[in-house]
Each structure stands twice: as C-alpha cells, then as structure tokens.
Structure 1
Amino acid sequence: MGFTSAWSISAHDDGFINALAPRLLPLIAAERDEPFARQRWERWCREPLPDFRTWWNPFGQYRQREADALESFLELTASGRHVQKMYDGLPGDDDFSLLTHVWDLVTDAEDIFVSVKSKEYALRSFLHAIGPARAALLPGWCGNFLLTSAEVRQTLPAVEQALGFTPEERAKAQDQDWLGYGDEEESVLDGPLRMWRHAAAHARGLCGVSVTMY
C-alpha cells in the first residue's frame, strides 16, 4: 500500500513558537522516549548502513546480512506515532491541524522547506545521506524539533558543521540521497541549512516535523 510523507521546516516568530510548544514538545519527547527508539538510534550509530544500492537482492528483498540493521533504521526514520498526531489531530483538540495552523500560515517561500514524497520518507534519505555522526549534531529527535529564535542562533554552528560539505563530501552525500528532485524542488541536503541561516538572520524560530500525510 502506498503512502505520501512530508518533512517540513518552517520559520515563525517567537510568539508562535511559544504557543506551539505545549502541543509539539511533549510529542517530540514521547517520540524520543518510545520503547526501542534510543536502541535503534544507537544501533545506527554503531552500524551505519552501506550504500543503499546494496540493501536489496535481485528479487527486491532485503539482503539477510543487513536485514536486521536496515529494519531498525527504517523504523527509526519513519513518521512516529506521537508527532504524527500533529497531522492527524490531537485528542481533545480537534480543531488543530498542522496543515492549516502551521503550514498554511507561511506566506513567503523563503520561510519554509518542505519535501513531499510518495512511497518514501524524505527524512530517511536525508539521514542516510549525511550519516549518524553529522545527524547527532542536529537538535531535536529524528527531524522533529521546535526552536525559539535564541535556540536557532545557539544551534546554528552545530548545524553548519553537520550540513556544511566539502565538494567531495557533498558528492558522497548526494550519491546516497536516493530522492529525485524536480527543477523547482529543493534538496534535503540544501533546505535545512538554508532555513537555519534564514531564521538566524531574521530572529525567527523553527518548527520541524516529519509526518505521513496519507
């Protein structure tokens, strides 16, 4: 069965970030504290996956040698059931919608990065492409975060370290990012750092969420 996912990073003023915090921050914490979540993260750090083209055999099945580690990574990088409530709706808060109350409020294209993919998680390709050492420098949990403008400025050096590439490093990361991009579509290797720099320059906060849309 197919699905469509979205990973978004949007810039907002601190008033909006503070109002959103009681909704989103507990969900991110619950995602991080989910049983086996930390184990999956630590396993990926210990066993970074090889070239994605080696994951399947000619019959489209996972190669047994890597099946356990791959299944663990796939579970780690799929939309979690807690943050997913930001899209599906929070219990007792039926009027809130990530689509209408966060994304639709963004009126300037510079204020948002979003990657929508069919039958794939953009976040998954991003994390595999940059690897666990760089991913560990990013705030939040597996692409989900909520930061005030001050926190954006504080975390910018680490994000620049994580997502700043030499030409050789860039080529290697691009080789492991299996997503296809249209002419007007921003790469997962470009959008996040652009958003951090943009938000820091304009004293804005950031909201990052990875969800399954349908």
Structure 2
Amino acid sequence: MGFTSAWAVTAHPDTTIAALAPRLLPALREDRDRPGARERWAAWCRAPLPDHRTWYAVAPPPGTPAADPAAIGAFHELTCPGPAVEDVCDGTRDPDFHVMDGVWDQDLDEEDVFFSVHRKEYAVSSLFHALGPARAALLPGWCGNFLLTAAETAAALPAVERAFAFSAAERAAAEARDRLWYGDGEESVLDGPPRVWRTAVAKGYGLCAVAVHVG
C-alpha cells in the first residue's frame, strides 16, 4: 500500500512558536514516551542498520551483512511520523487546527522553509540512516519533530552544525546512505535542515519541525 509523507522544518517568530506550543509540545512528549519508543532508539544506537540496498535484497552484495527484518521494522517505526504529533497536525485532535493552515501556509519566506515530500519513503528515516546514531543524537526534539524558541534554536545550532559537518569522504558516505530521490533543484535532507537553522538564528526566529502523512 502506497503513502506520501512530508517533513517540514520552518522558521517562525516566537509569537508563533508560543501559539503552537500547547498543541505540539505535549504531543511530541507523548510520542517520545509511548511504549517501546526509547527501546527502539537504543536498539538502533547499539546496532545501526547496514547499507539500505541490503534491506530487501534476496542476496546482499558480497561482503555486506544482511539486514534483520525486525530491525528494519523497528527503525521505520522509530522514524516514521509520530502518531500523537500527526493527530495534532491532521486535525484529528482539533478540527479547527491543521498543520497546513496553522504552520505551513503563513506566507513564509522561501529561506525560512525546508519541505521534503516523498512517496513510499520517510524523509526523517532517510536522514537518520544517512547521519547514523551519533550524529542524529545531536538533533533536538524527538526523531525529527521539534518546536524551539529563538533562544533554544540558537543554543542548539553548534550541535546541529556538528551533526552536519562532513569531510569530503564522510559527505559521500552520507549521500550514499540517503535513500531519497531528488528532482532538479530539490534540496536534500543533508542540506535543508542546517540551512533553515542558520537562517532562523540570523533572524532571531524559532523553529518548528513536523513529519506527517499527506496521502
């Protein structure tokens, strides 16, 4: 069965962040604290998944360990849109609020937005697989979802810069682990989030990041 997912990182003044906080922060904590979530995170940290080209291969490439189907499933469960945040964003919890109108459709400047939409893939899953656990752990929030004030955004920037700081060889390896296909001019998950982060800090803005199913 197919699906389409979206992950957006958007920069906003603190007034917008404050208005979103009563809705999104409790849902984010709910997803982080739901049964098994922390265990799935710990399992991935202990044993990161091998090359994604082995995940569903009948026979993995020579010298490459085969992926454990249970580990793949747990990783997808960890990094797919969180159910509580998604219920907030799609209007399930409050029909008067939807992320499209309440967050994304606010006449945002292009520089204030990173938007990644993909069929049959999750942008956060691809990002985390590309970064690996040590770098992914430097990102705030929970598995791609976060809501930060301007001060929190600025305080987190050094760690975010470390997460996305690559040598030429490290960048090539991360790109090889990025499972997404990009169209002409489309920004990758390795470039968009740190760009918006720097923009937000320069403008004195906070950040909102949410992942949802859109189809």
Aligned to 1:50: 50
Q: How does 1:153-172 map to 2 (within 5 A)?
A: 153-172=154-173
Give the number of equivalent residue pairs.
Answer: 211
Deviation at 1:64, TM superposition (A): 7.5
Aligned to 1:41: 41
Aligned to 2:62: none
**Residues 1:174 and 2:175 are matched in the alignment:** yes
The one-character-per-residue Cα deviations of 1:98-128 (angstroms, maximum 9, x if unpaired) are: 0011100043111100100011111111110
Aligned to 1:138: 139
Distance 2:68 2:145 in 1: 27
Q: How does 1:4-43 map to 2 (within 5 A)?
A: 4-43=4-43
**Residues 1:204 and 2:205 are matched in the alignment:** yes
SS in 2 for 1:18: helix
Q: 1:112 to 1:106 in 2, by over 3 A?
A: farther
Deviation at 1:65, TM superposition (A): 5.5
Q: How does 1:65-144 map to 2 (within 5 A)?
A: 66-91=68-93, 93-144=94-145
Deviation at 1:90, TM superposition (A): 4.2
Query: Identity of aligned pairs, percent?
Result: 56
Distance 2:106 2:192 in 1: 19
- Asked if 2 retains the 8 angstrom alpha-carbon contact of 1:87 and 1:213, the reply is no
Deviation at 1:87, TM superposition (A): 2.7
Q: Which runs of 5 or more structure 1 residues have no equivalent in the other structure?
A: none
Supply the AA of the counterpart residue of 2:86.
Q
Q: Which runs of 5 or more structure 2 residues have no equivalent in the other structure?
A: 60-64
